[in-house]
A and B are shown apart, each in its own frame.
Chain A
């Protein structure tokens, strides 16, 4: 019998699962990895680039090989780290990269050295090869139908957050709590205790109960994955199942103690990626925590003392252990030999032997050793990730042979192994730190450094020869440390290999920047509950019930649920359009902004916010205007009502209310003064129904809301106050359809009453879709649809701000920049399709001669009133092209169209007065 086997008879209850379709049994308390080992599985998948068989290396978050896809209860979770994920009954586990993909890359493998892709797929163009390469590469498969759920997460503020609940972490937490601090102790594993759980050590149970007694909050199954500004930590708390994304917590801690321990490094020798090569500490973990012996004839290869307790423990359960120590004999090696263990000192491992799994090794002196497991310890790398993310820097200390923090970071201290402290397990000298040993010349360079991304010693040396010698270039050229394990076992070895290849000290080479997250965090956890309707709740109209009663179809318009059309299908849009031109329609315009601006500097502020002057507006009058940003680009349009002296109401577009208020507040507070002007968003306080059409006046007269409808007293772009059901009502003569229009605003609660009274009076209900057609017929724009990030007022035909050199408003000076005067700026025009049909919205317009895009169609509809297609477009030098023909192009289709003025219906505006 060779290879891993479960030797502990007793254990948790049986959990059935499958691996690559084979039925297996695990136990409660197993990780996926320990269950696989217990079932004798050596090979858990294939490597990323060369598709070499790979086995389990570690027992923690540093695992590069054992990445699997898991399906449970119909939910498929890709890229699960088998060494940290608890086994669950019914899991279907499959390798992320199986045998199937092996052949092609095996044939290619001699060519896949560093920079292969950069060098090979240059001609004619990387993008030609990219799709095929991406399919071939990549880890795991996302199943779009599988949705992980996630918990709500939250924020937590504490005096002290301790990361890592080993002995050092527990002690730090207890000290803090005893000093009166509120303490959170975060532990990645399912139980506290850290490495004491398999390394042994007294008093962990006592420390844990003491910690609980003094009020320490202990979070297990929780990883502090990132350190951010102002002492904030990102903590991911695992869910109870692999299919649950867990939850995201933001922990604000005045002080942080990192007791994150250290990660064991592999050793570098030929074929060190063979299944059966494992970290020594991991074999002890599997033995003590899961009762799994990873090999009956283990060879423990080490360059430090930490592997000796491992060798003793393996021997204790009956394994035939050989220790291969690269150092001279010591008290410790002698003690091991005394216990009956075969110890070879000054012995260096050269090559692993075996087909598909370890069967032995060859030493540098040619000696062969039989064995079914190579347990390696190449030294330890303190887990300084969070310290580095918080602004620290890890440097290699040549004297101590360990990675150390270069300088203190305020608010963060280190405890235990991460600080270079590891209490000796006995009375013997305890040398647990060691420098990486890089194989010298004359031996194969097929020595794996980064197992997950398949980076070899040869690749690092190739990078050195090609002058990618800085640590950051090494990373990018070879992809060292860029896999999902982020090079936890590889980065320091890679740096040491590059240092040797270039004759430098590892200290001088440094390490790549540590970045969050320390471990992959499920997107589901980052999103938390913020998805779907919770992420962006729909805003709804006060009169929604009345619209539904009329058979409205409601759609989401930028987060607002509004009637699209009334009736069974979109055919009713035509009827609504015709009703607006022939009779009267009413649409619910309640979401239009109603932002009050008042105070001694109200007019001055509005003059500054709009490209046109507003302070000269007389009470009762209305003016249209555009707002710009400081680059002169149109950000919104709307009308301003003068309610009285120093009191205005801005009616901006529905989706721009928040943006307008934010911008207005910025200028108010930073330029005009908080006491000089007040901004009050009243949008939700008022409901607005917009009545429009040649019969609008007659309907208004019947409603009796306002006293006079005489056009001289109540002209277009004026408003009057009236009464509806005993409450104040405001009626404004504005028009977005081109017909005579009355916008009736009443307190929001009366919306449900106003709507039916308008319908009863003869107005036809009209949805947003018909309104979109009616306004396009008139050439009225939707900012953001008919404009883009380059559109200035004069591109829309509003020439005055630029030509008159008006000053004192946002974006004023930008309108005088040379770019604003370019002759080929995209200008708003209309289009008439040859033959009268509808041009697809979004189509590009192609200039005759040199075939290039000169613009695009922004809105396009069939006009029921005109009986032909109409379109708005932004076209380079568009106004000068009016009357010319252009070609439109959309998804391979082309056609011809004539450039027209933007306004296709009633260009002289006489309909406003019908």
Chain B
């Protein structure tokens, strides 16, 4: 077995993980203006932090600047899938 290795940017290829910045939880969909105070507070502050595979925003901030969605195992840090973030 080998180590999970560096992060692989879909635009730049394998790059050191230090070039990437965590960008938050893409599942935290922006509530509509008419949502409750609690819904908005949840969007701002409440995160699952689940054990296992998590969908996460990452941005290749020290590289191409592109926003990416990674499926990362929060236990092993293995990134199972990474692709460009879309609107």
A interface residues (Cβ-Cβ under 8 A, vs B)? 155, 157, 229-232, 250, 252-256, 391, 408, 410-412, 630-631, 662, 665-666, 669-674, 676, 805, 807-808, 812-814, 816-818
Are B33 and A808 in contact (CB-based, < 8 A)? yes
CB-CB under 8 A for A818 and B3, given A662-B61, A666-B59: no
- Report the minimum CB–CB distance from A206 to chain B (whole Å): 30
Residue of A229, A255, A670 most packed against chain B (CB within 10 A):
A670
Known contacts A230-B4, A254-B5, A814-B44, A670 near B33 by CB under 8 Å: no
Tell me if B76 and A410 are in contact (CB < 8 A): yes
Cβ–Cβ contact B23 & A813, under 8 A: no
- Please state if B6 and A670 are interface contacts (CB–CB under 8 Å): no
Which chain A residue shows the least CB distance to B35? Answer: A813
Report 23 cross-chain contacts, Cβ distance below 8 Å, ordered by A residue.
A229-B17, A230-B6, A230-B17, A230-B77, A232-B17, A252-B5, A252-B16, A254-B3, A254-B5, A256-B3, A391-B75, A410-B1, A410-B3, A630-B44, A631-B44, A662-B61, A665-B67, A669-B66, A669-B67, A669-B86, A669-B87, A670-B86, A813-B33
Q: Flag if A254 contacts B2 (CB, 8 Å).
A: yes
- One of A410, A631, A814 near B2 (C-beta < 8 A): A410
**Residue of B4, B18, B84 ringed by the most chain A CB atoms within 10 A:** B4
Which of chain B's residues 28-80 have a Cβ closer than 8 Å to chain A? 31, 33, 35, 37, 40-41, 43-44, 57, 59, 61, 65-67, 75-77
Question: By the criterion CB–CB under 8 Å, are A630 and B67 in contact?
Answer: no
- Distance (Å) between the CB of B12 and the closest chain A CB? 15
CA distance A827 to B78 in the complex (A): 48
Per-position binary interface string of chain B over residues 4-31, scored 1 when its CB falls under 8 Å from any chain A CB and 0 otherwise: 1111000000001110000100100001
Known: A230-B6, A391-B75, A666-B23. 4 other contacts (CB 8 A): A155-B16, A229-B17, A255-B3, A676-B87
Given contacts A254-B3, A817-B37, contact A670 B16 (CB under 8 A): no
Question: Do B65 and A665 touch (CB < 8 A)?
Answer: yes
CB closest residue in chain B, given A255: B2
Q: Which secondary structure characterizes the binding site on chain A?
A: mixed
A630 to B25 alpha-carbon distance, docked (Å)? 14
Q: Which chain A positions have C-beta within 8 A of B86?
A: 669-670, 673
Q: What is the chain B residue whose CB lies nearest that of A679? A: B65
Give the docked Cα–Cα distance between A662 and B21 (Å).
Answer: 11
Min C-beta distance of B68 to chain A, whole Å: 9
Q: How far is the CB of A316 from chain B (nearest CB, A)?
A: 45
Question: Distance in Å from the Cβ of A830 to the closest Cβ of chain B?
Answer: 32
- 6 shortest interchain CB distances as A-B pairs: A231-B3, A411-B3, A807-B33, A673-B87, A229-B77, A410-B1
> Does B2 contact A411, Cβ atoms closer than 8 Å?
yes
Instruction: Tell me the bound Cα distance from A631 to B42 in angstroms.
Output: 11
Known: A669-B87, A673-B87. A231 touches B5 (CB 8 A): yes
Bound state CA distance, A669 and B68, in angstroms?
9
Q: Which residues of A contact B17 (CB under 8 A)?
A: 229-230, 232
How many angstroms between the C-alpha atoms of A411 and B55 in the bound complex? 24
Q: Is the CB of A817 within 8 A of B6?
A: no
User: For residue B85, which residues in chain A have a CB less than 8 angstroms away from its CB?
Assistant: 669-670
Rounded to whole Å, the gap between the CB of B59 and the closest CB of chain A is 7
| Alpha-carbon distance between A670 and B44 when the two chains are bound, in angstroms | 17
Docked complex Cα distance between A805 and B33 (Å):
9
Cβ-neighbour of A391 out of B57, B66, B76 (below 8 A): B76
A637 to B75, CA, bound (A): 41
Q: Which residues of B contact A232 (CB under 8 A)?
A: 17
| Residues in chain B near residue A253, CB distance under 8 A | 3
Instruction: Assess the B57–A670 pair: CB atoms within 8 A.
Output: yes
Do residues B37 and A411 form an inter-chain contact, with CB atoms below 8 A?
Answer: no
Smallest Cβ-Cβ distance to A808: which chain B residue: B33
Nearest B residue to A252 by beta-carbon distance? B6
Inter-chain contact B40/A817, CB cutoff 8 Å = yes
Let me know if B4 and A813 touch, CB within 8 A. no
Taking a contact as CB atoms under 8 Å apart, the answer to whether A672 and B35 are in contact is no
List residues of chain A with CB within 8 A of the CB of B4.
229-231, 410-411
CB distance from A184 to the nearest CB of B (A): 14
B66 touches A411 (CB 8 A): no
Decide if B26 touches A670 in the complex (CB within 8 Å): yes
Q: Evaluate contact between A814 and B40: CB separation under 8 angstroms.
A: yes
Residues of A near B43 (CB, < 8 A) are 630
Cα distance A808–B2 in the bound complex, in angstroms:
47
Q: Which residues of B contact A157 (CB under 8 A)?
A: 6
Contact of A813 among B1, B7, B31, B61 (CB under 8 A): B31
Of B5, B18, B61, the most chain A CB neighbours within 10 A belong to B5
- CB neighbours of A229 from chain B (8 A): 4, 17, 77
Assembly CA distance A298 to B35 (angstroms): 79
